[in-house]
């Protein structure tokens, strides 16, 4: 049994003041594999104090110095890539096809931020003023379990690039990944206190970050419910808040799409990350004129998907991360049946012979957009095919949601797809692709969040503009 009993404050691994031990599981076996000792409010305050102390010097570092640090962080995390891969498979159950990306992505984000910084000018002239983009202060970075290492590194890379110091509150369910990343980042040799990593409960350590007056900014990725609480808590001290929350993304198959190409993309978008993805395309909007074909192809595709041992290279869908998450997905499958949707593939219970928290890849059809399974984020491999009559109706259904994170359009005609994309309320619209673009802004409309991450937009969320007036008297009217 593994015991993780250190947190990282002021450049040192320390034993938390908090005493609670929290069980860690392998979701593919549902067995306990170890425990993590959780930090408490006292630990959170010590981390915030360290980051506050480090901020004045760090905020004055040059762009070149910060680029050098980001390169070192990239190298340090890359050196632990295989350990991270193991941790992601053991603790999260990501199938090895997905886990490879999840192990590479954390390190690559440091270099993405180097690219952003190289082209970014922190000082600019606007009329007679000189405007300086200024680091905002100490940032609280809070991550979910579905890509814990990726979010730690992405958020931290951006904070460092901006000249901010940080306190990171990772998911308590991802302590193994956090340990590997923390050890790696320690090796990068940043000044003490610039980043601090404090694993603890959301309602304890997360809440302390969300209300503490010395935290200037929160960057949070997680559920919409918790995100709303963070927004309310931050109002008292006027925190700048970036929220990356849930989604119910539409995949619109237009009637001119080649189904041989469109169906694998639609299924891939829906079942990505074992369905535990905020950007999963969980509502497949199908033209009624081609519904029978789409159903047949989708059913065949779902039945071919391998669910099981995450280490098997053929496996496409791993287990749900926890018993709680498994129960939640089962509940939604039951609701789908009760509300009268037609089960096309999968269904309730575990696939045969699998003991962990596995779910059968499930597709419902004849779903209407007012059904619970079309409205609420399920966060598991459960998709809904929603028939539509014409393009106008497809757009209306796609936009009839409280969310607006991502959308997918599958079409044989790029011009047409583009026109439809312009009318979709979502932070990202992917046309005939599932590829990520790390330089483009990412984030949601409506209740999918506030603000954007990645690229220049992500960087500026950690900066405040400061205008200096009078330097250019010749231009003053």
| Shortest reach from residue 286's CB to ligand NAD, in Å | 24
Binder among 8, 25, 145, 271 for ligand NAD (CB under 6 A): 145
| Shortest reach from residue 44's CB to ligand NAD, in Å | 10
| Shortest reach from residue 450's CB to ligand NAD, in Å | 11
How many C-beta atoms surround the C-beta of residue 64 within 10 A?
9
Binder among 108, 109, 143, 165 for ligand NAD (CB under 6 A): 143
At a CB cut-off of 8 Å and minimum separation 6, what does 344 contact? 295, 298, 299, 302, 363, 364, 365, 385
Stretch that binds ligand NAD, among 219-227, 309-317, 384-392, 468-476 (CB under 6 A): 219-227
Q: Which residue among the candidates 91, 153, 278, 460 is catalytic per the annotation?
A: 278
Stretch that binds ligand NAD, among 25-33, 189-197, 206-214, 389-397 (CB under 6 A): 206-214
Q: In this complex, which beta carbon is closest to ligand NAD, that of residue 229 or of residue 268?
A: 229
For residues 397 to 426, the per-residue mask of contacts with ligand NAD, x marking binding by CB under 6 A and - elsewhere, is --------x---------------------
Sign of torsion, CA 150 62 441 166?
positive
| Shortest reach from residue 336's CB to ligand NAD, in Å | 19
Residues 270-299 close enough to bind ligand NAD by CB under 6 A? 278
Decide: is 229 part of the binding site for ligand NAD (CB under 6 A). Answer: yes
Beta bridge partners of 453: 442
Q: Measured between alpha carbons, how far is 167 from 40 in angstroms, rounded to an integer?
A: 13
Beta bridge partners of 407: 429
Q: In this complex, which beta carbon is closest to ligand NAD, that of residue 140 or of residue 387?
A: 140
Decide: is 10 part of the binding site for ligand NAD (CB under 6 A). Answer: no
**Residue-wise over 2-20: b if at least 16 C-beta within 10 A, else e?**
eebebbbbbbeebebebee
Q: Which residue among the candidates 91, 172, 244, 453 is catalytic per the annotation?
A: 244
| Residue 376: active-site member | no
| Shortest reach from residue 153's CB to ligand NAD, in Å | 14
| Shortest reach from residue 203's CB to ligand NAD, in Å | 5
Q: Measured between alpha carbons, how far is 149 from 175 in angstroms, rounded to an integer?
A: 10
| Closest CA relative to residue 378, chosen from 251, 247, 226 | 247
What is the CB-side half-sphere exposure of residue 265 using CA atoms within 13 A? Answer: 21
Q: Measured between alpha carbons, how far is 61 from 117 in angstroms, rounded to an integer?
A: 13
Binder among 27, 135, 222, 380 for ligand NAD (CB under 6 A): 222
- Report the residue number whose CB is nearest to ligand NAD: 202
Decide: is 210 part of the binding site for ligand NAD (CB under 6 A). Answer: yes
Binder among 91, 112, 244, 295 for ligand NAD (CB under 6 A): 244
Residues 174-193 close enough to bind ligand NAD by CB under 6 A? none
Q: In this complex, which beta carbon is closest to ligand NAD, that of residue 135 or of residue 246?
A: 246
Q: In this complex, which beta carbon is closest to ligand NAD, that of residue 89 or of residue 207?
A: 207
Decide: is 330 part of the binding site for ligand NAD (CB under 6 A). Answer: no
Q: Measured between alpha carbons, how far is 273 from 72 in angstroms, rounded to an integer?
A: 29
Counting residues that bind ligand NAD (by CB under 6 A) gives 29
State both tokens at 248: 């119910």
| Closest CA relative to residue 7, chosen from 51, 40, 54, 52 | 40
State both tokens at 6: 């250190």
Stretch that binds ligand NAD, among 83-91, 240-248, 339-347, 360-368 (CB under 6 A): 240-248
How many C-beta atoms surround the C-beta of residue 223 within 10 A?
16
Instruction: 14-23: list long-range contacts, CB under 8 Å, 24+ apart.
Output: 16/40, 16/43, 16/198, 16/200, 17/42, 17/43, 17/46, 18/42, 18/43, 18/200, 18/204, 20/201, 22/172, 22/175, 22/201
Decide: is 171 part of the binding site for ligand NAD (CB under 6 A). Answer: yes
| Residue 244: active-site member | yes
Decide: is 455 part of the binding site for ligand NAD (CB under 6 A). Answer: no
Q: In this complex, which beta carbon is closest to ligand NAD, that of residue 144 or of residue 193?
A: 144
Sign of torsion, CA 273 283 257 406?
negative
Q: Rg of the chain over CA atoms, in angstroms?
A: 23
How many C-beta atoms surround the C-beta of residue 43 within 10 A?
25
Decide: is 304 part of the binding site for ligand NAD (CB under 6 A). Answer: no
Binder among 40, 43, 90, 172 for ligand NAD (CB under 6 A): 172
Tell me which DSSP letter residue 264 carries: H
Tell me which DSSP letter residue 172 carries: G
Q: Measured between alpha carbons, how far is 251 from 431 in angstroms, rounded to an integer?
A: 10
For residues 347 to 386, the per-residue mask of contacts with ligand NAD, x marking binding by CB under 6 A and - elsewhere, is ------------------------------x-x-------
Q: In this complex, which beta carbon is closest to ligand NAD, that of residue 202 or of residue 361?
A: 202
- Please calculate the CA angle 204-210-215 and round it to the nearest 5 degrees: 120
Residues that bind ligand NAD (CB under 6 A): 142-147, 169, 171-172, 202-203, 206-207, 210, 221-223, 226, 229-230, 244-247, 278, 377, 379, 405, 449
Residues classed as catalytic: 244, 278
């Amino acid at each position: 049994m593994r015991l993780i009993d250190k947190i990282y404050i002021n450049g040192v691994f320390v034993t938390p003041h908090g005493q609670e031990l929290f069980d860690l599981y392998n979701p593919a076996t549902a067995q306990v594999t170890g425990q993590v000792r959780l930090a408490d409010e006292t630990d959170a305050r010590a981390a915030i104090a360290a980051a506050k102390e480090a901020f004045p010097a760090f905020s004055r570092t040059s762009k070149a110095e910060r680029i050098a640090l980001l390169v070192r962080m990239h190298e340090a995390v890359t050196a632990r890539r295989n350990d991270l891969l193991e941790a992601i498979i053991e603790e999260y159950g990501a199938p090895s096809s997905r886990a490879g990306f999840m192990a590479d992505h954390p390190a690559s984000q440091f270099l993405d931020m180097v690219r952003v910084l190289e082209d970014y000018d922190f000082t600019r002239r606007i009329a007679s003023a000189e405007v300086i983009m200024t680091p905002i202060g100490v940032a609280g970075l809070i991550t979910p379990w579905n890509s814990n290492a990726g979010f730690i590194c992405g958020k931290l890379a951006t904070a460092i690039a901006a000249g901010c110091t940080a306190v990171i509150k990772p998911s308590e369910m991802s302590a193994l990944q956090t340990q590997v990343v923390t050890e790696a980042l320690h090796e990068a040799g940043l000044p003490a206190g610039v980043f601090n990593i404090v694993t603890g409960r959301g309602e304890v350590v997360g809440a302390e970050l969300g209300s503490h007056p010395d935290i200037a900014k929160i960057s949070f990725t997680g559920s919409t419910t918790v995100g709303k609480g963070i927004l309310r808590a931050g109002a008292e001290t006027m925190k700048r808040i970036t929220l990356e929350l849930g989604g119910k993304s539409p995949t619109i198959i237009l009637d001119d799409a080649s189904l041989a190409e469109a169906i694998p993309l639609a299924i891939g978008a829906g079942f990505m990350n074992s369905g535990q993805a905020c950007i999963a395309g969980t509502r497949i909007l199908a033209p009624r004129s081609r519904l029978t074909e789409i159903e047949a192809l989708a059913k065949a595709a779902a039945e071919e998907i391998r669910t099981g041992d995450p280490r098997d290279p053929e496996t496409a869908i791993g287990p749900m991360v926890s018993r709680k998450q498994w129960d939640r997905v089962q509940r939604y499958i039951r609701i789908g049946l009760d509300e009268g949707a037609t089960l096309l593939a999968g269904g309730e219970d575990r696939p045969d012979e699998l003991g962990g928290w596995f779910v059968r890849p499930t597709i419902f059809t004849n779903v209407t957009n007012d059904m619970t399974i079309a409205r609420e984020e399920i966060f598991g491999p459960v998709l809904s095919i929603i028939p539509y009559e014409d393009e106008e109706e497809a757009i209306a259904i796609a936009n009839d949601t409280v969310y607006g994170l991502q959308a997918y359009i599958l079409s044989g005609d790029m011009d047409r797809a583009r026109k439809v994309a312009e009318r979709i309320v979502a932070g990202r619209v992917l046309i005939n692709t599932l590829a990520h673009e790390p330089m483009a802004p990412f984030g949601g409309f409506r209740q999918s969040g506030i603000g954007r991450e990645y690229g220049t937009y992500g960087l500026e969320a950690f900066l405040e503009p400061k205008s200096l007036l009078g330097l250019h008297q010749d231009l003053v009217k």
